[in-house]
Amino acid sequence: MTLEILGITVLGVFLFGYIIVASIDFGAGFFNAFSVVTGKEHILTRVIQRYLSPVWEVTNVFLVFFFVGMVGFFPKTAYYYGSTLLVPASIATILLAIRGAYYAFTIYGGLKYRRYTILYGLTGLFIPASLSIVLVISEGGFVTIRNGGPELDYWVLFTSPLSWSIVVLSLTSVLYISAVFLTWYAQKAKDYNAANLLRKYALAWAGPAIITASGIIVEMRTHNPEHYERLLDLWWLFGLSVLFFAGTVYLLWRRIAYGFAFVLLAGQFTAAFLAYGISHYPYLLYPYLTIYDSFTNKAMATALVTAFIAGLCLLIPSLYLLLKLFLFNKDYVQGNRNDHV
Amino acid sequence: MVNQEAVFFSRVLTELTLSFHIIYATIGVGVPLMIMIAQWVGIKKQDEHYILLARRWTRGFVITVAVGVVTGTAIGLQLSLLWPNFMELAGNVIALPLFMETFAFFFEAIFLGIYIYTWDRFENQKKHLLLLIPVALGASFSAIFITIVNAFMNAPQGFDIVKGQLVNVSPLVAMFNPAMPTKVAHVLSTAYMTSAFVLASIGAYRLLIKGSKHVYHKKALFLTMKLGLIFSVATAVIGDFSGKYLAEYQPEKLAAAEWHFETEKGAPLYLYGVLDNGEVKYALKIPFGLSILAHSNPNAEVIGLDRFPDNEEPPLYIHYLFDLMVTLGMGLTFLAFVYVLGVHRKWPLIFKKWFGRLLVLSGPLAVIAIEAGWWMTEVGRQPWILRGIMRTSEAATGSGQVDTMLMLFSLLYLILGIGSVLVLIRMFRKNPVEQELADRDAEKAGDLK
């Protein structure tokens, strides 16, 4: 394995981690707001907050880790993506900031208003939409080099069916991932009302999620034929992904083994993410930037990998402790403890 | 492609984001240490008040952390969005500490979550103390790593430029650059100092303005003032080293800050004053002061601005920022000294209302000193973004939308600033310590039944 591949794998793992934990977070905010609007707040709010409170900060770190690592391993991405993403990334940052601060203000500060809860839920939909623009741009065709610098063509971006498909995909998968996870969590909390409601949401979003995902592959055929060819070569990974998807839906339908259903869901997204990532190789920004011509010097790459391994030795036990104390702590999950500062 | 308008707005937006962020970041670095110390004192003295102090600080701290985290994410992204050319170049050399900073932040985030959600879970207070250690360490280490990045911008090294290409990169040499020791030490000590004074302000407000007689507030104020004194003395000593560093490695910054125009031996130090057509007026002149400050020798030669071409001179207004920072730092040290000594000697002075008002002001004044210090050091390395290598004007984005983003972010910081202050005030108004102590006693009595 070359250092380039190792670098992009590390970043891929963190991006994937962010997609999963942030989806749970964004979706939870949306379902919470939805329950306020539909008068089902009493069913959902408690279980959602009990999960989110100890981990909301950690979610944010996954994102920071990804973009800092990206610039570290591939400094040229700062030039290409930094120059083009000013507007979408700034909007995402502002929404993330409002969201994070508001969450702390309500949970720790006791500031609770209906309209804020709804606003909070809506930001959870706008953030994935604005972040997914990065994936759209990486397909090529939206950035032109003008006057010696890359520029984003907003008109092409907003009129492209591909960009809208990816935005819709990000929304449906956020809601689907979140609903499946929370179903499992509510079941563990012995909160059967919440589990039943969330199960319905999960089943409702399963169809749209898989349809939009398949739609992207079709879009790719006209947008980026080279990428499309590579995607087809990996048909078996997509097949595996669909199989996992069917398993999750079956288990939810039969109301059994929600934990295993979430594992299958993770498998579904891992397979799809891997297939997408591998077929994207070697481009970071088609056709300007590959992982080879943007890679940092060898000394820095070695230093970063060393720091990464040392960092993991600290992080993994700490994350394990966090999960053990909250996610896998029966008393905490079931709400028998209230140890909150 | 670089347009001058984008350079200007990028500078303003970066300055705005950082100026807002450092208020929360400074508290984020210093307060965990204070919380840890309070918890430790509580265990050592077997005094419930200190443990409660740690927890009440934590509750407020969480709000400031939230704002610190989100504005920190903003500046992290803005580095690449507003200065893509800089990040492309510097990323090759300085990515390591940036990367390590996120680890420290991760570590802190995990343990802070655990600490605040295991309140009362463990009988043994030492376990809570053990959880606080990684929080305080993570906070301080993220400050250390990010300051290293800033130090590199002031004293870039660890690479060679051959025909416009970066070669022979050495990440560790880049990290341990000459600016690093004084910068890191100064940032840490001022963060601890500022946090101590901010917390002292709260205690002073309750005790001397609101007229509470509760012993809890007395303990809080005395502890934080003692810590404030220790860290402000440390800050002054490190500040002196920082001046000596500047004289050696970045003489143009020192010369601009001290209005030292001609290179000369036995250079005088100017305090305050105004600049009028290149003439220093109304200043307090200390003969040989600058030579002593720069080289600990009254006859040493200090390099002046005459040694630098006009287009490499930093703006001269940084002198006012320097004066402000030093005056506030000295004033706060003196205030803490008088208070701590006054408590020991039982001086009536410390119970006076005007003195109480000064104590209440100490926190905000320390924050102003932090801002002034950062503005001075950052403006003082203009026109460079990487001193001697890359000018700020070459580093900025070419995007035409920076002005719109500036407005959006200004609005965001306004909302976050007002929101966090309102929430903090509300939290402590609704649950004063007298109430909380009574509640805890009632709960304990209930347990016994």
Residue for token pair 């924050």: B367
Q: Is A327 on the interface with B (CB under 8 A)?
A: no
Is the bond preceding A225 in cis, omega lying within 30 degrees of 0? Answer: no
List the single residue in A82, A94, A109 with the smallest CB-CB distance to B423: A109
Pairing outcome for strands A289-290 and B301-302:
unpaired
8 Å CB contact of A108 and B62: yes
Given this model, what pLDDT does residue A338 score? 61
Closest by alpha carbon to B57, among B65, B46, B45, B47? B65
> Residue B277 and residue B254: Cα distance in Å, rounded?
20
Contacts of A25 (CB under 8 A, 6+ apart): A52, A56, A59, A124, A178
10 Å CB burial of residue A331 (0-12, 13-18, 19+) is exposed
In sign, the C-alpha dihedral spanning A164, A167, A171, A177 is: positive
- Residue numbers in B near A300 (CB within 8 A): 92-93, 95-96, 169, 171
Confidence of residue A79 (pLDDT cuts 50, 70, 90): confident
* Maximum alpha-carbon separation in chain B: 82
> Which of A64, A77, A331 to substitute to test the interface with B, most B CBs within 10 Å?
A64
**DSSP letter assigned to residue B314:** P
Q: Is the pLDDT of residue A118 over 90?
A: no
Report residue B347 as tokens: 């001086």
Confidence of residue B1 (pLDDT cuts 50, 70, 90): very low
Q: Is the pLDDT of residue B2 over 70?
A: no
Q: Do residues B115 and B57 touch, judged by C-beta distance below 8 A?
A: no
In sign, the C-alpha dihedral spanning A147, A149, A150, A154 is: negative
8 Å CB contact of B77 and A81: no
- What percentage of chain B carries pLDDT values higher than 90? 38
The amino acid occupying position A99 is R
8 Å CB contact of B114 and A54: yes
Contacts of B9 (CB under 8 A, 6+ apart): B402, B403, B405, B406
Q: Do residues B191 and B373 touch, judged by C-beta distance below 8 A?
A: no
**DSSP letter assigned to residue B46:** T
- Residue numbers in A near B93 (CB within 8 A): 300
Given this model, what pLDDT does residue A219 score? 81
> Which of B103, B108, B401, B443 to substitute to test the interface with A, most A CBs within 10 Å?
B103
Report residue A259 as tokens: 């934990």
- If one compares A45 and B14, the residue with the highest pLDDT of the two is B14
> Residue A61 and residue B109: Cα distance in Å, rounded?
8
- The SS3 call for residue B178 is coil
- The Cα angle at residue A189 between residues B132 and A47, in degrees rounded to 5: 70
Closest by alpha carbon to B109, among A324, A56, A252, A139? A56
CB neighbourhood size of A71 (10 A): 27
**Which uninterrupted H or E stretch holds B160?**
strand B160-162
Average pLDDT over residues A39-54: 76
User: Could you report the per-residue pLDDT of A255-275, keeping only the tens digit for each?
Assistant: 888 889 899 999 998 988 888
Given this model, what pLDDT does residue B25 score? 93
Phi, psi of A203 (to 5 degrees): -65, -35
Confidence of residue B139 (pLDDT cuts 50, 70, 90): very high
- Residue numbers in A near B117 (CB within 8 A): 53-54, 325-326, 332, 339-341
Q: Is A90 on the interface with B (CB under 8 A)?
A: yes
- The SS3 call for residue B165 is strand
Nearest-CA distance A297 → chain B (Å): 7
Alpha-helical runs (H) found in chain A = 3-37, 41-52, 56-73, 76-84, 86-107, 114-138, 154-159, 161-188, 192-223, 225-233, 235-254, 258-280, 298-322, 330-333
> Residue A59 and residue B78: Cα distance in Å, rounded?
20
Q: Is A51 on the interface with B (CB under 8 A)?
A: no
Q: Do residues B55 and A341 touch, judged by C-beta distance below 8 A?
A: yes
Average pLDDT over residues B45-53: 89
Cα-atom radius of gyration of chain B, to the nearest Å? 24
Average pLDDT score, chain A: 83
> Which of B3, B106, B127 to substitute to test the interface with A, most A CBs within 10 Å?
B106
ipTM of the shown complex = 0.84
8 Å CB contact of A101 and B58: no
**DSSP letter assigned to residue A327:** I
**Which uninterrupted H or E stretch holds B96?**
helix B84-117
Rounded (10°) angle between helices A86-107 and B402-430 = 0
Report residue B275 as tokens: 């600049």
The amino acid occupying position B115 is Y
Nearest-CA distance B410 → chain A (Å): 10
Average pLDDT over residues B305-333: 90
- Enumerate residues 100 to 119 of chain A having a beta carbon within 8 A of any beta carbon in chain B: 100-105, 108-111
Q: Is A69 on the interface with B (CB under 8 A)?
A: yes
Q: Do residues A216 and A170 touch, judged by C-beta distance below 8 A?
A: no
List the single residue in B81, B87, B100 with the smallest CB-CB distance to A86: B81
Report residue A167 as tokens: 């935005």
For every residue of A145-196, DSSP letters joined together read: EETTEEEE-HHHHHH-HHHHHHHHHHHHHHHHHHHHHHHHHHHHTT-HHHHH
8 Å CB contact of A65 and B106: yes
User: Could you report the per-residue pLDDT of B71-90, keeping only the tens digit for each?
Assistant: 998 998 998 888 888 888 88
**DSSP letter assigned to residue B209:** I
Average pLDDT over residues B111-126: 80
Report residue B394 as tokens: 């070459």
Average pLDDT over residues B346-353: 80
Question: Quick one: three-class SS letters along A274-299?
Answer: HHHHHHHCCEEECCCEECCCCCCCHH
Confidence of residue B376 (pLDDT cuts 50, 70, 90): very high
- Residue numbers in B near A87 (CB within 8 A): 399, 401, 404-405
- If one compares B416 and A289, the residue with the highest pLDDT of the two is B416
Nearest-CA distance A7 → chain B (Å): 13
Average pLDDT over residues B34-54: 91
- The SS3 call for residue B281 is strand
> Residue A34 and residue B372: Cα distance in Å, rounded?
46
Interface A-B: count of C-beta contacts within 8 A = 240
Given this model, what pLDDT does residue B59 score? 87
> Residue A74 and residue A12: Cα distance in Å, rounded?
13
